[in-house]
Amino acid sequence: MASDLVRFSVAIPGALLAEFDAYAARRGTLANRSEALRDLIREKLVEEDLRTPEEEVVGSITMVYDHHTPDLTRKLDEIQHAHTREIVSAMHVHLDHHNCLEIIAVRGKGEDIYRLADCLLGVKGVAHGQLTCTATGSAMSNGAGHAHGHDHEHAHDHAHDHEHAHEHSAG
């Protein structure tokens, strides 16, 4: 791999470099600036790959909402039941008397997952929400053949053709 490395210079303000070094230190797994920069480049390449509508993605949709909002839970349930192909699992947590946290694991074509997230997060009464996802295809192996920042293999779970029960927990 060393023969594949290319050195280049970057001009950067000192304060920005200090913030970057602090970021790398917080991550704890980054041995040096070069490794930290490689990880950021891989991360951005994966994000770019997610913008390809045909790319397979996996991720989670996280929402916080007031379950007392009229008709909100019915609308969220209808949307989720219409997307059982993309929804792998869901967890519902009662945060307090009014607010609930819902975390939905998703998998499918990028365009379908982004559309699902837009539908759920756009329902009136959802106070905050976010889609977080990553590609499952070629973007995961950009760079040194492995996007985890190191060279050994990990076991990876794979999709099944059968449905999974949705998990609900009260807390």
- CATH code of the domain containing 109: 3.30.70.1150
Total count of domains within the chain? 2
Q: What is the CA radius of gyration of the chain?
A: 20
Q: Are residues 60 and 44 in the same domain?
A: no
Instruction: Let me know if residue 43 belongs to a domain.
Output: yes
Same domain, 70 and 45: no
Residue 148 lies in a domain: no
* Judgement on whether residues 32 and 63 belong to the same structural domain of the protein: no
Which of the residue ranges 59-73, 90-104, 122-136 would you say has the lowest mean pLDDT? 122-136
- Confirm if 171 and 101 have CB atoms less than 8 A apart: no
Residue 156 in domain:
no
* Residues whose CB is less than 8 angstroms from the CB of residue 127 and which lie 6 or more positions away in sequence, other chains included: 64, 65, 66, 99
In-domain check, residue 39: yes
pLDDT tens for 53-87 read: 778 889 999 999 999 999 999 999 999 999 999 99
142 found inside a domain: no
Q: Does residue 84 share a domain with residue 110? A: yes
Examine residue 158 and state whether it is found in any structural domain, yes or no: no
Asked whether the whole model's pTM tops 0.85, one would answer: no
* 36 and 73 belong to one structural domain: no
Cα-based torsion angle of the residue sequence 87, 91, 97, 98 in order, rounded to the nearest 10 degrees: -20
Same domain assignment for residues 60 and 131: yes
**42 and 108 co-located in one domain:** no
Asked whether residue 70 falls in the same domain as residue 28, the answer is no
Q: Could you give the CA distance from residue 106 to residue 91 in angstroms, rounded to a whole number?
A: 12
The answer to whether 77 and 120 are in contact (CB under 8 A) is no
Average pLDDT for residues 24-32, to the nearest whole number?
Answer: 76
Query: In terms of residue numbers, what domain contains 104?
Result: 56-135
Using CA atoms, how far apart are residues 120 and 79, in angstroms rounded to an integer? 7
Of 169 and 74, the structure prediction assigns the larger pLDDT to 74
Same domain, 88 and 112: yes
CA-to-CA separations, 127 to 9, 47, 105, 121, in angstroms, rounded? 44, 25, 19, 9
User: Are 75 and 128 in a shared domain?
Assistant: yes
